[in-house]
Structure 1
Amino acid sequence: MSNTEMDPAAFVCADGGAPGPESVCDGGVPVEIITARDVPLGGPRAMNVRRTLPQRQRSTIGAWCFADHYGPDDVTASGGMDVAPHPHTGLQTASWLFEGTIAHRDSGGVAADVLPGEINLMTSGAGICHSETSTAGTTVLHGVQLWIALPSESRNSPRAFENHKPPLTRFDGGSALVFIGSLLGSTSPVTTHTPLLGAEVRLDPHTSVTLDVDPDFEHGLLVDTGDAVLLEGVHVPKDTIGYTGIGATALHLANTGDDAARLVLLGGTPFTEELVMFWNFLGRSTDEIRQFRDEWQAGGDRFGRVEDYVGLGGPNRNAQGMSWLPAPELPATPLRPRRNPPPHARP
């Protein structure tokens, strides 16, 4: 998915930084709450997404550097998703749906549908472009779009695309779909370039589970549904992330509500490289971001072309009449470092 903001914030991320806002914990490991901000995706009938990463509070969780949460969205009212071809550098996009279907087309020649319960993982390498459109048969769209930062040794790798349908892993009181990494004895085969975890966890009403986790990982729990989901004794409101830092060997999740809960658990070893993020580009310096932007605006070979994009506004155009998304103007001043806090929930 694209960041369609035409005046996006620039993020330069690295380890370190000063203490931040309070978190509260009644037991277990500390938890920090990361709230979402609403971002419109598109034109006048835009589909809104809730963006929890990146934030000024915390830019990354492991190598997870971007998290959009959307729906359930009635596409007959919103117009659905219609993101014209747009670029990416230095990252992987991980598409995970709960409901609906999205048509993915990219300059690597891949044409695939994103389906509920299947991970679609696109690797940009040095550069790729792609489009995303909700399909004609989709009436409700609901899911998450995630980005993974690539380390220096992998960020110029070839373009790639992988699809995987994880098996349902059941436990007493719920189930999990492990789409990246390993959890509960289930391992995803998709390729990652740093140690990572991504899983959808479902909890029945009034149930709990203890998950054994890697103490080298920091974790974030995004709440999709469930009125009273508790993580380590802290209430994590809907549409927010409950963040726990490194050092924990187990996480305790509980659903004290009368309805089933659906959660997305993200984790990974802290990403220690400095990142410059602007719009849909991940790089290492202002000059590099400027080069990416100039090449995209000029239609350079770095990103290739999406040959078979068909938008909701007609062949080769989105609902706003665009055949591709132009990049926003860069700020007049250099992008200054914004340090990611240490990998601990901040007391």
Structure 2
Amino acid sequence: MSNPERHPDEITCTAAPAATVEVMVPRDVPLGGPRAMRVRRTLPQRHRSLIGAWCFVDHYGPDDVLDTGGMSVAPHPHTGLQTVSWLFTGEIEHRDSAGNHAMVRPGEVNLMTAGRGISHSEVSTPGTRALHGAQLWVALPDGDRHVDPDFAHHAPDPVTGEGWEARVFLGSLLGDRSPVPTCTPLLGAELLLEPGTSLDLDVDGSFEHGVLVDTGVLAVGGSAVAEPVETKQHELAYVPPGSATLTLRAYDAPVRLLLLGGPPFGESIVMWWNFVGRSHEEIVAFREEWQAQITRNGAVVADSQDLGAGRFGLVVGDHLPPIPAPALPNARLKERR
């Protein structure tokens, strides 16, 4: 998924500790046009930019495709990150310039590694009537951010217990481990809790965790947290490192949530539009390369098949015109540590 904002802020990302569970509320972002589907963005925020290496959380739906037209994200670039696509309802067709063509379906994770540069498109399929899911980004550490583009798919089997069900799509939890490789230790899982269920999860105490509530109301706590905190639908609860147990308690309605985690990233990144870099100069260069690749005589090419050869490559089989980069802000992008 692309960041559709016409004037995206520069976001300098650093991991910061917190003494208690912190609840973050989303901001509403349109994917383009007056009738377009909208997403709820809970990460990054000005006061917290990363949870482990997770640097971007968009949560959307249930979205009536007949009303909004669904998802139609034309070819756009990425650098220095991985995209993680997870659906609750619907189906999305993925194409990228590394030659990968795959479907995103409920309960199946697609992880795309941008590395040194990739372009891709995401379009909901004609048979989709409702879209509901999350689009997540993971920042790549400095030693891995120039790797070749890659792609992985995994359909985790459910793990069940009294009053709960889980699907572990990255990392390990509840005795299950995902085979999908990551460049930093990560945790990603969907959990379903029946009303009144309390679940104590054994987690890595060096991890910070994020709990994104899709449906229901949830109390979130940890072994190193003084008091659990109520987290409502669409909110993201941040749990700092130090807890070897994470406690999730549903109230009187079913809860669906995504659990994200990883050790504090330990590096500063500059994230602007769809690029993750380390400096102003890198971001400027990425933008210039993309614009040069998608324009002819100053105009954006009408068909992605006309994309020139370059860092971001050609999305084979996609005929939508590529998305031009917005203008850079009127200030130097700064890296802060």
Normalised by the size of structure 1, how large is the TM-score?
0.89
Give the corresponding residue for 2:315.
306
Q: Report the 3-state secondary structure (helix = DSSP H, G, I; strand = E; otherwise coil) of the residue aligned with 1:297.
A: helix
For the pair 1:73 / 2:63, whether they are aligned, the reply is: yes
Does 1:35 pair with 2:25?
yes
1:132 alignment partner in structure 2: 122
Aligned-pair CA distance for 1:4: 1.0
Can you list the C-alpha shifts for 1:7-59, whole angstroms capped at 9, x where unaligned?
01111123459x8xxxxxxxxx8210111000001212110000001110200
Q: Which runs of 4+ in 1 moved over 2 A?
A: 14-17, 336-339
Q: How does 1:1-347 map to 2 (within 5 A)?
A: 1-15=1-15, 30-226=20-216, 228-232=217-221, 233-257=228-252, 259-299=253-293, 301-309=310-318, 316-317=319-320, 323-337=321-335
The CA distance in 2 between the partners of 1:272 and 1:74, in whole Å, is 40
Amino acid at match of 1:231: V
Contact 2:15 2:48 in 1 (8 A): no
Separation (CA, whole Å) in 2 of partners of 1:237 and 1:220: 13
Query: Aligned equivalents of 2:44 and 2:57: distance in 1?
Result: 7
Q: Residue type matched to 1:252 in 2?
A: T
What TM-score does the superposition give when structure 2 sets the normalisation length? 0.92
1:103 and 1:132 in contact (8 A); partners too: yes
Q: Output the amino acid matched with 1:229.
A: L
Contact 2:97 2:312 in 1 (8 A): yes
> What code does the residue aligned with 1:292 have?
F
CA distance 1:16–1:266, shift in 2 (3 Å):
closer
Find the residue that maps to 2:288 and give its secondary structure.
helix
CA drift of 1:166 comes to 0.4
Q: Where in structure 1 are there 5+ consecutive unaligned residues?
A: 20-28, 310-315, 318-322, 340-347
Q: 1:222, 1:251 → 2: CA distance? A: 14
The residue type equivalent to 1:330 in the other structure is L
Give % identity. Answer: 57
| Structure 2: unaligned runs, 5 residues or longer | 222-227, 294-308
Deviation, 1:191, is: 1.2
How far apart are the structure 1 equivalents of 2:218 and 2:23?
A: 13
